[in-house]
């Protein structure tokens, strides 16, 4: 059994959907579970719908949703002779909701609206594959992936989900070789839709690979594979053909956009290899990520923008002991904040984190009970694994280094440009 994940860029036009159907034709007779995310920029567009609705701008929300509808209807018309039945049900679900008045939290409505993106794209792809005589079954992942009600960042109930996979997905493979479902979304025990966090389809695919004991997961992207730096930022970025799970989990955690950070654990836990391949060049092998030790010859460079440095100073010159430290970590847990870098001194602590504005303001307020708090914003965190002096000098040239940490493998520099 294989698991394939197709992201938004691989299905954002009729030509691209035809291209992925050609990929399926090159795996005749193989059992494949397919995870699909929303087309192109649909998720962003649906976020705008949810925001307008929540502000009470009903007409605006309906108009924005109409645009999303048209994009999908046009695509379906271009690809298919007969209409896809279920896409109208998904349109209606959202439109009904938009006619209501918001009475619950924003995050709840966000998930009810945004989940439509994956339901629509996967339905169109499934119908097109049928029309190409590629037999497949479409499954609503909300019947499979059970989550809690932490809307927008829901946590998956693995036992329940495993049971549903055994009960629904596995028997389906007796009737068909291809099962098509959605990434990024799930459902609570009260049948409310949930989402797993932006870019969460990779994670869904890794969960399926784990729970199905798949032989491999392939993530089909618009790039050749994993590069040693983001090719949009670094023109001389180079392709890497093999990587170890450890390397990739660190890269993803520190901000490499190539794979969602939660993707690696489910794969590593069952030793399932991850292939990152290019849907525009399906003959190429891409990058393989596995438990094999790989001697990394290239430095790996990751930039994380929009960082804030929080400087916490003891108010009365007392040491920063266990008590204020544990209180501080309680605050992090309450606010769901993950520090990217920390450094302690006798009477102060420095913490670098993503500048999620609202959370940081709350954190500053809560921490001010214990410390004097100062914030420095607009910083960039540069992480270089397998560094050398040349690369450090090159990348830190003309920058002001606010904080630096170095281990045997990794250097991290929190930087800003001079004013």
Question: For the chain, how far is it from start to end, CA to CA, in angstroms?
Answer: 55
Smallest distance, Å, CB 121 to ligand ASP?
9
Cα–Cα distance, 227 to 312 (Å, whole number): 37
Bridge partner list, 311: 350, 374
164 CB-near residues (< 8 Å, 6+ apart): 143, 144, 145, 146
Q: Which of 53, 108, 110, 184 binds ligand ASP (CB under 6 A)?
A: 184
Please say which residue, 122 or 412, places its beta carbon nearer to ligand ASP: 122
| 359 contact choice in Mg ion, ligand ASP, none (CB below 5 to 8 Å, kind-dependent) | none
Per CB under 6 A, the segment of 35-43, 250-258, 276-284, 330-338 that binds ligand ASP is 35-43
Q: Are 37 and 219 in contact (CB under 8 A)?
A: no
| Residue 273 sits in the site that holds ligand ASP (CB under 6 A) | no
Residues with Cβ within 8 Å of residue 114, at least 6 apart in sequence: 43, 46, 47, 50, 195
Question: Which pair of structure tokens corresponds to residue 44?
Answer: 């962003």
Spell 229-264 as b/e; 16+ CB within 10 A means b.
bbeeeeeebeebebbbbebbbbbbbbbbebbbbbbb
By CB under 6 A, is residue 263 in contact with ligand ASP? no
By CB under 5 A, residue 255 contacts Mg ion: no
Report the residue from 40, 200, 261, 273 that binds ligand ASP according to the rule CB under 6 A.
200
* Strand partners for 193: 187
Tokens at 392, concatenated = 């450090």
Element (H, E) at 132: none
| By CB under 6 A, residue 48 contacts ligand ASP | no
Among the candidate windows 11-19, 100-108, 166-174, 194-202, which touches ligand ASP by CB under 6 A?
194-202
Binding site partner of 200, from ligand ASP, Mg ion, none, Cβ cut-off 5-8 A by kind? ligand ASP
37 binds Mg ion (CB under 5 A): yes
Close Cβ partners of 160 (under 8 Å, ≥ 6 residues apart): 146
CA distance 331 to 337: 8
Instruction: Name the residue nearer to Mg ion (CB basis): 72 or 385.
Output: 72
Considering CB distances under 5 to 8 angstroms, the limit depending on partner class, which of Mg ion, ligand ASP, none binds residue 182? none
Give residues 95-134 in contact with ligand ASP (rule: CB under 6 A): 117
Q: Which C-beta is closer to Mg ion: that of 8 or that of 286?
A: 8
Residue 365 token pair: 């307020």
Closer CB to Mg ion, 141 or 379, in the complex: 141
Would you count residue 200 as binding Mg ion (CB under 5 A)? no
What is the binding site for Mg ion (CB under 5 A)?
7-8, 37
What is the binding site for ligand ASP (CB under 6 A)?
7-8, 37-38, 43, 117, 183-184, 198-201
């Amino acid at each position: 059994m294989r698991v394939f994940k197709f992201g938004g860029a691989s299905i954002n036009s009729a030509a691209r959907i035809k291209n992925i159907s050609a990929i399926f034709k090159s795996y005749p007779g193989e059992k494949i579970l397919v995870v699909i995310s929303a087309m192109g920029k649909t998720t962003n567009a649906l976020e705008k719908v949810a925001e307008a609705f929540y502000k009470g701008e009903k007409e605006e929300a309906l108009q924005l949703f109409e645009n999303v509808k048209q994009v999908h209807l046009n695509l379906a018309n271009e690809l298919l002779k007969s209409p896809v039945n279920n896409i109208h049900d998904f349109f209606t679900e959202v439109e009904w909701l938009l006619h209501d008045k918001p009475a619950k939290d924003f995050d709840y409505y966000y998930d009810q609206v945004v989940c439509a993106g994956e339901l629509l794209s996967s339905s169109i792809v499934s119908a097109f594959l049928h029309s190409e005589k590629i037999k497949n079954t479409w499954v609503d992942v909300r019947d499979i992936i059970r989550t809690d009600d932490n809307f927008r960042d829901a946590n998956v109930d693995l036992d329940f989900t495993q049971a549903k996979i055994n009960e629904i997905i596995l028997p389906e493979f007796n009737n068909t070789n291809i099962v098509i479902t959605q990434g990024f979304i799930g459902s609570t025990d009260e049948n409310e839709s949930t989402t797993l966090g932006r870019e969460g389809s990779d994670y869904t695919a890794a969960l399926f690979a784990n729970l199905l004991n798949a032989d491999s997961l392939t993530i089909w992207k618009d790039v050749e594979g994993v590069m040693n730096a983001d090719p949009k930022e670094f023109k001389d970025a180079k392709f890497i053909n093999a990587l170890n799970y450890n390397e990739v989990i660190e890269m993803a955690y520190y901000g490499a956009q190539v794979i969602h950070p939660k993707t690696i654990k489910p794969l590593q836990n069952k030793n399932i290899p991850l292939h990152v391949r290019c849907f525009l060049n399906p003959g190429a092998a891409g990058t393989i990520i596995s438990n094999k030790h790989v001697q990394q010859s290239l430095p790996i460079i990751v930039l994380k923008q929009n960082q804030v440095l929080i400087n916490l100073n003891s108010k009365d010159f007392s040491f920063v002991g266990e008590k204020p430290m544990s209180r501080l970590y309680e605050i992090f847990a309450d606010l769901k904040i993950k520090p990217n870098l920390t450094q302690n001194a006798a009477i102060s602590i420095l913490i670098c984190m993503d500048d999620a504005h609202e959370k940081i303001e709350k954190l500053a307020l809560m921490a001010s009970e214990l410390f004097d708090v100062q914030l420095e914003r607009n910083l960039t965190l540069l992480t270089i694994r397998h560094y050398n002096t040349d690369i450090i000098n090159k990348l830190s040239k003309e920058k002001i280094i606010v904080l630096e940490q170095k281990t045997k493998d990794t250097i991290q520099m929190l930087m800003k440009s001079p004013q």
